[in-house]
Amino acid sequence: MTVAVKPPAAATVRAEPCLTVHGLTKRYGGLVAAKNVDLDLRPGEILGLIGPNGSGKSTVMKLVMGLEKPSAGSIRLDGTEIAGWPAHKVARAGIGLVFQHARPLMRQTVLENIVLALLPDSLLRLAPDSSVTDRARAIAERVGLGAVIDRRPGTLAFADLRRLELAKAIARDPKVVLVDEPFAGLTGPEVATFSALIRGFRDEGKAVLLVDHNVKSVAALVDRVFALYLGERIAEGSAESVMADPTVRRVYLGGSIETAARPEAAFKRESLLTVEGVDVLYGKAQALRGVSIHVHEGEFVSVVGLNGAGKTTLFNAVSNLVPHAGTIRFGGQDLARMTPAAIARAGIVQVPETRELFGDLSVLENLDLGGHHLSKAEAAKERDKLYELFPILKAREGQSARTLSGGEQQMLTIARALMMRPRLLILDEPTLGLAPVILEQLSKALERLRQTTPITVLLGEQNVTFALPHADRVYVLEQANIVWEGPPDRFATEMGAAYL
């Protein structure tokens, strides 16, 4: 049976929370993704759950939805303990989820997708019901899908796919709606429409939990913000108070930054890497829009931007791992027709966000695979240099990569890339999920690298503290566009406030 909840007469915030999370903890092996999270959500309230990548916000959302089982803690919905329930029971109890990446049934039409959300969980519903279809049509009209109702999701525009997800949530009519990254990939006017739809939930007396990376994008919408970092709460309160919170600022912006930029004129005129007007589409979503950057030989360039801004996509386009429009040239050579492997051999070596280590191989073997093209003697020499840079790797030489800590894995990934003797080293979010003390070590190593070798680096980061000190030049990437370019010392004054 469809759960029918009568909306309260007015959008008043009732005192009693409908969703109470207490002491919620989730461990994956040794990693604690969520630690003792306490959270309340009241009917008619929009709560923003924010935190950088790896902060545990998605985990919390999945735990509430029943997609993962909590290690400890309680989740109560209107007083009923639902922690550990399977997702379908949680959904029937009145919680709905709007996935960040639209996950419609690709083989069904838009209408059928909405009808699906309206159906009871019954095996015996064999006869089609025209009233269900009528309701589905009404919902489609409400979210603005009326014109495309008989099309399949594969042919829809990106925003329409997100609309479809919202339509499904409306059809389910839950008491609590969880929305994952509501505005990712949307244009300005689209954001306005979606905000209105989400406010619609609140006005009907539903409780809404918005999950996003940063406060800014949801500030206009939320009643309250809850900030997570490394699985723990770091701040809670109004959007303004959280944005002003020193801990939050440190997490996102870091403390005071000393920069040591070399002027662009110090480098050769022609650049080593030139990216011009690159566009990337993921299905219907625009991941990069007309992006142009350049890197000179020997230069250290940082691209800063929040998660989802398009940094990884940019690097993948450079390595020709994603189809793209526009031109990318490296040392005068057009990369369009080269395979990713050939590009790597030509000297552009990536240290990907996901690290891509060979988990069952030892540290030494991982390094040797990086030095595959060198003679044995040269490889050994190169390796020794890197052991100097990252002494911990020498101590861990025989250990398999899987057993290393996150920071050690990151160092190994960088070292493995350096074994390739890159002309251009691309570092994608090296700080992801690392503790501050490790960040410092990594930062020192990068500085040393910059001082002692003629290496060219392109760094992608959301952590500005980490990205700026080494940088000669900085680009800011925001929602698929480059919005700022300049030396790091001007970043704080020109971009600092707008960034968070």
Partner 1 sequence: MSLIPARFILIALPILVAAALLPLGVSGYILGLLTIAYYFAVFSMAWDLLFGFAGEVNFGPTFLIGLGAYGAGILNNRYGLDIPLCLLAGTALAVIGGLALAVPALKLSGPYFGLVTLVAVLLLQNLIVVFSDLTGGEIGLTVPDVISIDADTNYWIALGFMTVSGLILTAIARSPAGLILQAAGQDPVVAGALGFNVAKHKIAAFAVSAAFSGLAGGLIVFYMGTASVGTLIDTAVGVQIIIAAVLGGRRTIVGGAVGAVFLIAAGELLRPLGSLSTFVVSAAALAVILFVPTGLLGLASFRRAS
Partner 2 sequence: MIGLQILVDGFAISALYALGAMGFTLIFGVSGVLNLSHGALMVTAAVAAWAASAQYGFGSYAGAAIGVVCGLLGALVTYFAVVAPIERSKAIPRAEKEIFILTGTLLWGIMIQQLVAYFYTDNPKTVLPLIEGVVEFAGVRTPRNEWFTALVCWVVIALLWAFVNKARAGKVLLAASMNPRGVTLLGHDMGRIYIAVWAIYGLLAGIAGVLLGMFLGVSSYSVGPLTASAFSIVVLGGLGSVTGSLIAAYVVGYLETATAYLVSPAYRVIPALLLLVAVMYLRPQGFLGRR
Which residues are near partner 1 by CB under 8 A?
A: 65-67, 86-89, 91-92, 96-97, 99, 103, 105-109, 111-112, 115-117, 119, 121-129, 132-133, 151-152, 154-155, 168, 172
- Give the Cβ contact number of residue 237 at 10 Å: 14
Query: How far is residue 166's CA from residue 182's CA, in Å, rounded to a whole number?
Result: 10
Interface with partner 2 includes 361 (CB under 8 A)?
yes
Question: Whole-number minimum distance, CB 207 to partner 1, in Å?
Answer: 17
Taking CB under 8 A as the criterion, the residue among 344, 445, 483, 495 binding partner 2 is 344
CA separation (Å) from 426 to 118, 270, 299? 47, 19, 12
State the binding partner of 340 from partner 2, partner 1, none, CB within 5 to 8 A by kind. partner 2
Interacting partner of 152 out of partner 1, partner 2, none (Cβ under 5 to 8 A depending on kind): partner 1
Partner whose binding site includes residue 416, from partner 1, partner 2, none (CB under 5 to 8 Å by kind): partner 2
Measure the CA–CA gap between 369 and 362, rounded to whole angstroms. 11
Q: Given the structure tokens 């793209």, which residue do they identify? A: 324
Helix (H, G, I), strand (E, B) or coil at 386: helix
As a whole number of Å, the end-to-end CA separation of the chain is 44
| Closer residue to partner 2 in complex, CB, 417/457 | 417
Q: Rule CB under 8 A: say whether 483 interacts with partner 2.
A: no
Q: Exactly one of 68, 245, 368, 408 binds partner 2 (CB under 8 A); which one?
A: 368
Sheet of 72-77, strand order: 31-41, 19-28, 72-77, 80-81
Of 135 and 250, the one with the shorter C-beta distance to partner 1 is 135
Distance CA 500, CA 497 (A): 7
Give whichever of 361 and 392 is closer to partner 2, judged by the CB atom.
Answer: 361
- Return the structure tokens found at 282: 């993921």
Chain centre distance of CA 353: 11
Cα–Cα distances (Å) from 286 to 153, 222, 328, 459, in that order, read: 17, 26, 18, 22
Taking the C-alpha atoms of 466, 188, 236 and 15 in order, what is their torsion angle to the nearest 10 degrees? -170
Instruction: Provide the mask over 439-478, with x wherever binding to partner 2 is found by CB under 8 A and - wherever it is not.
Output: ----------------------------------------
CB of 459 to partner 2, least distance (A): 16
Give the separation between CA 253 and CA 464, rounded to whole angstroms: 5
Residue 370 contact among partner 1, partner 2, none, beta carbon within 5 to 8 Å by kind: partner 2
> Could you list the residues that contact partner 2 (CB under 8 A)?
319, 321, 339-342, 344-345, 349-350, 352, 354, 356-361, 365, 368-370, 372-373, 416-417, 420
